[in-house]
Amino acid sequence: MNVGKESSVTLQRIVNNLDWQGLNPSQRRTFEQRLNAHFPRLFGLLLDIYPSRYDLHFHCEDLVQRLLRGFLQRNNRLKALDKQRLKDPHWYKSQDRVGMSCYVDLFAGDLQRLKARIPYLQAWGINYLHLMPLYAVPEGDSDGGYAVSDYRRVNPALGDIDDLRALAKALEDAGISLVLDFVFNHTADNHPWALAAQQGDPVYQDYYYLFDDKTVPDQYEHHLREIFPQVRRGNFTWNDAAQKWVWTTFNSFQWDLNYTNPEVFKAITEEMLFLANIGCEGLRLDALAFIWKEMGTDCENQPNAHKLIQAFNCCLQIAAPAVVFKSEAIVHPDEVVKYIDAEECQLSYNPLLMALLWNSLATRKTRLLTASMQKSFAISPDCAWVNYVRCHDDIGWTFDDDVAASLGINGTDHRHFLNQFYTGRFEGSFATGVAFADNPQTGDCRVCGSMASLAGLEQAIEKDDPALIELAVKRILLLHAVTFAIGGIPVLYSGDELGLLNDYSYQSDPDKRHDDRWVHRVALTDDIIDASLHGTNPHHGIVDSLQHMLSVRRRHAIFGEGATDILTPYNDHVFAVARHLNNQHLVALFNFSEQTQSLDGRILEALGPKAAGDDLLTGKHYQASDALSIPPYGVVWIGANLDGN
Ligand code: GLC
Ligand code: GLC
């Protein structure tokens, strides 16, 4: 079949039947132009995903009508933003993009008080703010907000939808791009769709994966991972009301949506446009790897998952093109990169870099980091990594076992070592972390803990040892420094910018104590901020140095649009990155050991013909003819020919 011809005939019919009420001629022109540009792809994708749906034409028409409604509900301010972003699609690649992610309640109390924290964000130069899910949730455990009972209502503890709209506007006025969660793999079991399914409504039972008995679930189960084995074994939950087994990849109260049903795609598209129209500029695609199930596979990263995301992206291009997607694929590195494309997810977490920074900190060796980044860092020039050191989740050791094997490292054994190291079960470790999701069957686990506690600050403060405190602070700066320099948007996890330690209070909260990720979900009170910013404690030193590095980053375009080259430093303890932008060059060197490291000066040949330059952080001059000396846990950013001041 000729999809091109088919789609233009289909589109013509749809356009003729659309209800255009409420649009002025210029709006109608804009919408039609975008339909012409993106519908053919959308149609092709839907045909691929739903090949046997005889009613696909009906669904396409219904979908486009919903897109039109979403477009119509978009206010003029956001429509202007659409135009602006289309003219400057690389806005997220600028060197002055710096992000933060936080929980509304932990960061500020509620949405109104978050507005009052905007000056704090500005003091950090934050212009990308990811707010953890703030939607209505069930009482008690809601997986930190990732069990959504209603995408259009705000959790009353945080405010209401008008507060959210007002905040979005205030952030926009302050030049801060808002990023919201798009939790589209599952809903809470008390979402109206799930409630209707429980009451036996066949239309809504089709929104989820429900089974009369365990036969089919057991066939699937054979190939599936378990994400939270500490709270429940297996991926299916018995529901008494419905008298069915329900697919629940995460917690028992998070019901996986059934995207083999085109009604689900359309319904979720509408929820997505509602979020877009609040005024966010990024949607974080939660757990996107899991959205398509295929018998006989692990039901992660399936080809149709990619097609669905591309189809959602087409819908945004038509109705709200200012909004970009950020992928949350915490999977094998070869799979992570497959989500990154201008037509799929423009942004992506970089879990490989995150995990390997911690690996290098533990081992004091950078070979796995270097080899892995050389293999996996390059992505489409239209896209950007979101580089982070910690986030609200645990650390999983998602490196490529083949790359590890090529360096003589056994992946399984090495993960075991890392888990021991970061959970206080390895003698001499500086880290204070907590094991998470222990799987008694596989012996797997993952690691929780705040940046500062994992980097040694908690132990050092307990021992009241200034030398250990200094080392811990340097580790904190070192890891952040890589994320500031390597290329992409660095996103600070709120609390880490002040070096806050683990908070064990969750252990006495019955809704939280089974989920150790709460250990690194720490509240930022005014007192804590005050003490960190103005005291003489180690936190104060962290703040000053991080802000200094960020101010250097902001000054030079090379940190934004510059191409990244991962260098081979011929020193097992040093990680080296070059950036190039026309005739401007940067060599960034990071020493992951407690000893001074010396390095062959020829690495500076990456700086162009002069092979020399000044450290942007200290002003010190470096040249290729000398051996370079990098202090313990040192960071050196040598620039040559840079624009900026
Ligand atoms: C994502 C979130 C995590 C949550 C899970 C289920 O991985 O980051 O916190 O538990 O999705 O929604
Ligand atoms: C798994 C999932 C990831 C999620 C995490 C939550 O690693 O792949 O999506 O963030 O579990 O702990």
Instruction: Considering only residues 244 and 438, tell me which one the structure prediction assigns the higher pLDDT.
Output: 244
- Pick the residue whose CA is nearest to atom 11 on ligand 2: 227
Confidence band for 441, pLDDT divided at 50, 70 and 90: confident
Other residues' Cβ atoms within 10 Å of the Cβ of residue 596: 12
Which ligand 1 atom is the nearest neighbour of the CA of 392? 9
pLDDT for residue 499 = 95
Count of positions (residues) in the chain: 645
Q: How many angstroms separate the alpha carbon of residue 516 from the centre of ligand 1?
A: 13
**What's the rounded Cα separation, in Å, for the pair 241 and 262?**
25
Q: What percent of the chain has pLDDT over 70?
A: 100
Q: Copy the structure tokens of residue 379.
A: 């992505």
250 lines ligand 1 (CB under 6 A): yes
What is this structure's pTM? Answer: 0.97
393 lines ligand 1 (CB under 6 A): yes
Question: Please, are residues 117 and 107 in contact by the beta-carbon 8 Å criterion?
Answer: yes
Which ligand 2 atom is the nearest neighbour of the CA of 300? 8
- In 401-557, the DSSP E strands lie at 434-436, 446-448, 489-493
AA identity, residue 588: A
Is 60 exceeded by the pLDDT of residue 375? Answer: yes
pLDDT for residue 4 = 80
Pairing between strand 324-327 and 128-131? unpaired
pLDDT for residue 17 = 93
105 lines ligand 2 (CB under 6 A): no
pLDDT for residue 264 = 98
Which ligand 2 atom is the nearest neighbour of the CA of 329? 9
Question: Please, are residues 188 and 254 in contact by the beta-carbon 8 Å criterion?
Answer: yes
394 lines ligand 2 (CB under 6 A): yes
Each residue of 305-364: pLDDT tens digit? 999 999 999 999 999 999 999 999 999 999 999 999 999 999 999 999 999 999 999 999
Q: How many angstroms separate the alpha carbon of residue 289 from the centre of ligand 2?
A: 10
Query: Which residues, 6+ apart, have CB-to-CB distance to 277 below 8 Å?
Result: 70, 73, 74, 75, 78, 320
- The ligand placed nearest to the CA atom of residue 446 is 2
Strand, coil or helix: what is 174? coil
Question: Please, are residues 486 and 378 in contact by the beta-carbon 8 Å criterion?
Answer: no
What number is the average pLDDT over the span 414-421? 96
What number is the average pLDDT over the span 61-88? 97
Backbone φ, ψ for residue 475 (5° rounding): -65, -40
Q: For the chain, what is the mean pLDDT?
A: 96
In testing the pocket of ligand 2, which one of 184, 284, 393 has its CB within 8 Å of the most ligand atoms? Answer: 393
181 lines ligand 1 (CB under 6 A): no
The residues with which 580 forms a beta bridge, in sequence order, are 563, 585
Q: How many angstroms separate the alpha carbon of residue 146 from the centre of ligand 1?
A: 6
**What's the rounded Cα separation, in Å, for the pair 325 and 281?**
9
Which ligand 1 atom is the nearest neighbour of the CA of 249? 6
Q: How many angstroms separate the alpha carbon of residue 231 from the centre of ligand 2?
A: 14
Instruction: Considering only residues 92 and 4, tell me which one the structure prediction assigns the higher pLDDT.
Output: 92
Helix (H) or strand (E) holding 313: helix 303-319
Is 80 exceeded by the pLDDT of residue 519? Answer: yes
What number is the average pLDDT over the span 91-98? 97
351 lines ligand 2 (CB under 6 A): no
What number is the average pLDDT over the span 538-559? 94
Domains with residue ranges and CATH for the chain: 366-555 (3.20.20.80), 562-640 (2.60.40.1180)
Is 70 exceeded by the pLDDT of residue 1? Answer: no
pLDDT for residue 645 = 56
Is 90 exceeded by the pLDDT of residue 533? Answer: no
Query: Which of the residues are catalytic?
Result: 286, 328
What number is the average pLDDT over the span 228-246? 93
